[in-house]
Structure 1
Amino acid sequence: MSVVYILLGLVLLVFGGDFLVKASVGLSFKLSISKMVIGMTVVSFATSAPELLVSLQAALDGLPAIAINNVIGSNIANIGLVLGITALIGPIVVSKDFYKLNWPAMMFFSLLIYSFLKNDSLLSQNEGFILVSVLILFLVYLIKTAKNTAANDEVDDALAEVGYAKISLWLLLGGLALYFGSKWLVEGATELAEKVGVSEGVISITMIAIGTSVPELSASVIAALKGEKAISLGNLIGSNIFNIASVLGLTAIIKEIPVTEPQILTNDIFWMLGFTAIILPLVFVPKKFVFSRYKGGLLFLGYLTFIYLVLS
């Protein structure tokens, strides 16, 4: 039954996240929020909702390893799995904003969460407030400095015509799906960890992390197969930033998260920092500002190596 719970949980999280994104964007249009701001804030937060619910559910259930490694594993998967496979399908052009703002911000948040956890093996409520506060400042800076042409192409204009009744229904369905999906996923992961004799941290950094990265993977692969060149590395970086700052930040505000499994600080988080760091030099290796197939292959091979070492 543990595998069934995990699969059902993942399916509900995917559908729940999709409903929440649509409802959030539709409601934002009703409130006359610009498309650019919707893309930078509303969509980014809504797409992190599955990770948020999983981490919060795990923390409340007394399973902090899942709460932390869900985010660490998801961030690793976004770079090694999603970016790697997408680049294997077709080269990705990287804008100069990558090294001027996006990558430094992602590296900063990654090092910040490491320092908080390393300090006393605890992500405290105060540290959660710091993460969320810095994220808000970062978003305000993005919005103020962005040009109108920076509107997010992933925001569906058709959602501006959706009525309040459908938005309410999507919010209800999305909320229920995310609640039960996160609950069943955490329960299934816990049972599976006990049956196969591994820790919750191992299950969460592999199976759960891959599952919560499926929406990003499917969207990127479909776009690549269609030959769309507007696949944005910034979107994946934004997802990683939100995973750390909003998911762990908000979870810690509600319930402090202790580090209960040593490998989180001795192994797992260094893999996240490594994947975060490596994409900067890869951008400048010829061909510059292009994630070519061989670069994607290196990332994907690195991710397979990470999964092998975690499970071995």
Structure 2
Amino acid sequence: MAHQAERVKLLRGIIDSNRPTREYLEAGRAAAQAFFLSLQQRKELSVAEFRFAGSIAKGTSLNTSDFDLVVFLNNEKPPFSSAVIDVFHKGVQQARVDGGVIHFRGKNNMLVKASAHFRNLELDLDINIAPVLVRGVNSGQPQVSRAAVRMQETGSVSVHVTPQMLEAIRLAKYWAGKVNLHGTKIHGNSFIVELITLEANRISEGEDLEEKFVKFLKTMQNLGEQKIILTKEYSVEDIPARLLFQRPLIMDPANCWDNLGEQFQPGQPAYYALTYYKQAADLALAKIEGARLGDAYYKNPANWF
């Protein structure tokens, strides 16, 4: 156990060294504020407020995390018109920040993507348009976006997120960021990893960071079979029957119509990610087992990734 305690210290060192710096967070806030001010100056829309969401808001981010920004509009309802999206596009193009540059990098019918070069830092911003924050919400449920923002700001799922669990989430995200997905794009990947970490460690009282990480990896070995419903916003009965039988089932805690795992179904763009994650989890678990058996190289957790 003494050797494992030492490995846990080294694991904490890895995630601490990859937490976003104060300069990184300040740069993201400055870029977001510049965009918000640019948008407010446009007469085509009435902008109410903006908030940070996602891992930045919850404190589970790494130094490569995107900044998820949610902009609430007055007098607009989904589905949003192309004119609304175009105003956001122009807002990015006309945003100005001292000592930096903001660039437009893409859009769809729910969000606009931007990047910023600021104080020698490169940042990505995903600018979500409220009242729709999550996929699959129709215009009859504008309140869902508020629930989504609240959940993403506070971690309002059915599992209490302790400081120790936050460490486990950061470590899981660090590992996931090292996995070679061979170009496979996964919608909401960071959020999915967070939910999987919480599900894998529902019962983990007294377990250290290494044990929590092992549980996460074992879940990733069998990602295609998972059923994950962690929410206080709706009941299982609210989930459409067609989703309940899907595997993996990784329900968005703020939206009972959205199985984040649907993209891993056969024929879907992220299907092969299941294989890549399993291979990476198999390898990581073998390395951890090597450390536990006394392999000198794998005693250093930096060699697990």
Query: Which structure has more helix as a fraction of its residues?
Result: 1
TM-score of the aligned structures, taking structure 2 as reference length: 0.26
Query: Which structure has more strand as a fraction of its residues?
Result: 2
TM-score of the aligned structures, taking structure 1 as reference length: 0.25
